Amino acid sequence: MEVTLVDLQASVRDTTAFNTLEEYQRLCKAFLELITRIQPTRIVSPTHNNYAFFQYGETYGYRITRPLNTNLFIESADDFQVAFERFVSFLSDLKQYQASILQQESVSRYIESSEVNKVVYTLQQSIGCIGDSFENPNQSRKRVGQLFEILVKLIIQELGLECEPRTINIPIPGYPGHEMSYELDLVFSRDKAIVAAETRFIHESEIVGSVKTTSKDRIDKVFLDKYLLTKLLGREVPVIAIFLHDVQRAKTGNSIFGVNSTFKSNHFLGYTVALNRLDGVYYVDPRPEMLSSERLREQIRDFQTFLVRDLWKLSAI
C-alpha cells in the first residue's frame, strides 16, 4: 500500500520511534516520494527566490509548509538516498580521523560540497513539512523541535562521543534548601565523564548544547544559561547553540509567501557584550548576514563546521 500523509503524521507522533539515523532517513524518503506522487502546489517566494513552499490539497485544508531553502533541501528521493549514504559513510570517516579529517584528501571534495548541511536540513525539514500538514500545527510544533534535538544527538553519538540530555538541580548559593532546575538539551564529551559531587553536575570535560529549530524568542535564554551555569557552578561552563534556521513565512504586499528573517543581530551582539560570549553558534541554514558581517562571522558558523572542526576542539581532552 502507498504511504499517505496520515501515515507520516502518525510516524511523527510516535514517541517510540526515531532512535536511529536510519529511522529519520526512512521517514524523509517516504515524504519525498509522497510529494512526488501527490504533487502539492510548489510556490517560490517572491521575496527570496531560493525559498519555496508546498501547499497541500483540499484534503489537508490547503495548508502551507514552512519555507524551504532550495539550495539545501533535496527534493528527489533518489538523490536524497544517495546523499544520505554518503553522509553516513562520512560520519564513519569523521569518527576515525576526528580533528585530522580536514587533512584527508579522500574527503576534501565532500567537505567542500557542504552536503552535510543539505542532508541534515532535508531530514529535519521533511519532518517539519509533515508537521505543517496537521490540522492544528501547534499539535506538532513541540514534537518537531524534539526530533531536531534527537537528530543532533544521534549524529554526535555516531561520531563516538557521549551525548545525552540532562536535567540538573543546582543549589543556589546562600539559600540553603533552594535549587534551580535546569533541563539541558544536550551534554556531550569525548569520554564518558563520571559526574561526581566535586564536579557539581557537569564535568569539566563536558559541553552543554542548546538545540532549537530557530533562535526566535530563544536566543536570550542560551546566553542566560551560560551566564547562570557559570555563576552558580563557580567555573566556566562551555555552552554552544545549534539552530536549524531563522526564517519564517510572512505577508509581503499582496503575497503571503514572503520570507522574513527571525534573527535579531543587535540582540545577539548585545547579549554577547552584556552577558558573555557563547562558545559556538551553528546554523544548518545560516542567514546571509551571518556570513557577511565580520562581527557575526566571528561567532556564527554552519553546522558542518561544528562537526568537522569545532566539535573536536571543544571536546579536546
Same domain, 134 and 210: no
Same domain, 41 and 97: yes
Same domain, 150 and 212: no
Q: Which three cell numbers stand for residue 273?
A: 557584550
Q: Which three cell numbers stand for residue 140?
A: 506538532
Contact between 6 and 134 (Cβ < 8 Å): no
Measured CA to CA, the distance from residue 7 to residue 298 in angstroms comes to 44
Task: Determine the pLDDT at residue 197.
Answer: 46
Q: Give, in order, the Cα–Cα distances in Å from 222 to each of 216, 218, 228, 236, 316.
A: 11, 7, 10, 15, 22
Same domain, 176 and 205: yes
- Domain final residue, candidates 129, 157, 185: 157
Same domain, 144 and 176: no
Same domain, 124 and 181: no
Along the 317 residues of the chain, how does pLDDT read in single tens digits?
Answer: 789 999 999 999 999 999 999 999 999 999 999 999 999 999 999 999 999 999 999 988 999 999 999 999 999 999 999 999 999 999 999 999 999 999 999 999 999 999 999 999 999 999 999 999 998 878 889 999 999 999 999 999 999 999 999 999 998 989 999 999 989 999 999 877 655 444 558 998 999 999 999 999 889 999 999 999 999 999 999 999 999 999 999 998 889 999 999 999 999 999 999 999 999 999 999 999 998 999 999 999 999 999 999 999 998 85
Same domain, 115 and 174: no
Same domain, 98 and 172: no
In the three-class reduction of DSSP (H, G, I as helix; E, B as strand; rest coil), residue 136 is classed as coil
Same domain, 220 and 102: no
Same domain, 168 and 308: yes
- Domain final residue, candidates 104, 134, 157: 157
Measured CA to CA, the distance from residue 133 to residue 317 in angstroms comes to 45
- Domain final residue, candidates 114, 138, 157: 157
Same domain, 15 and 62: yes
Task: Determine the pLDDT at residue 16.
Answer: 96
The tally of domains found in the chain comes to 2
Measured CA to CA, the distance from residue 289 to residue 260 in angstroms comes to 13
Task: Determine the pLDDT at residue 1.
Answer: 76
User: Chain centroid to CA 18: how far?
Assistant: 15
Q: Which amino acid is located at 38 in the chain? A: I
Same domain, 171 and 293: yes
Going by the DSSP 8-state scheme, the letter that residue 309 receives in this structure is: I
Contact between 206 and 190 (Cβ < 8 Å): no
* Domain that includes residue 92, residue range: 5-157
